[in-house]
């Protein structure tokens, strides 16, 4: 985790199967699951990222990703830091 004056930055990285560019926006939709031979038999509801995005944006944060099929994925979450009123 990095921390600047205004925000905390959290990276979550894996070296899994990756996510093709065509799916990278859609994986944040409710119930969306990448449907190919690598993932079809796997468990999951397709809700995790939709819920995460909703919670993060509810805190005025952002979630983005960089991914390459066959190499892995890195999600980046930025959250504004809470500053008590003086």
String of DSSP letters for 43-72: ---S-HHHHHHHHHHHTT-EEEEEEETTTE
What does the block give as tokens for 22?
Answer: 């065509």
- 16 in contact with Mg ion (CB under 5 A): no
Which of ligand ADP, Mg ion, none lies near 63, with the C-beta cut-off 5 to 8 A by kind? none
For the chain, what's the residue count?
86
Q: 48 or 80, CB closer to Mg ion? A: 48
**Shortest Cβ distance from residue 58 to ligand ADP (Å)?**
17
Q: 8 or 72, CB closer to ligand ADP? A: 72
Applying CB under 6 A, which residues contact ligand ADP?
14, 16-17, 19, 27, 32-34, 39, 44-50, 73
Q: Where are the beta strands (DSSP E) in 1-86?
A: 2-3, 7-14, 62-68, 72-80
Q: 42 or 83, CB closer to ligand ADP? A: 42
Q: How many other C-beta atoms are found inside a 10 Å radius of the C-beta of residue 4?
A: 9
**For binding to Mg ion (CB under 5 A), which residues are involved?**
48
């Amino acid at each position: 985790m990095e921390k600047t004056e205004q925000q905390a930055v959290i990276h979550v990285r894996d070296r899994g199967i990756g996510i093709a560019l065509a799916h990278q926006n859609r994986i944040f939709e409710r119930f969306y699951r990448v449907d190919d031979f690598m993932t079809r038999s796997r468990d999951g509801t397709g809700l995790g990222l939709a819920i995460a995005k909703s919670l993060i944006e509810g805190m005025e944060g952002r979630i983005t990703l960089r991914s390459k099929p066959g190499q892995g994925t890195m999600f980046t979450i930025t959250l504004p830091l809470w500053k008590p009123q003086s």
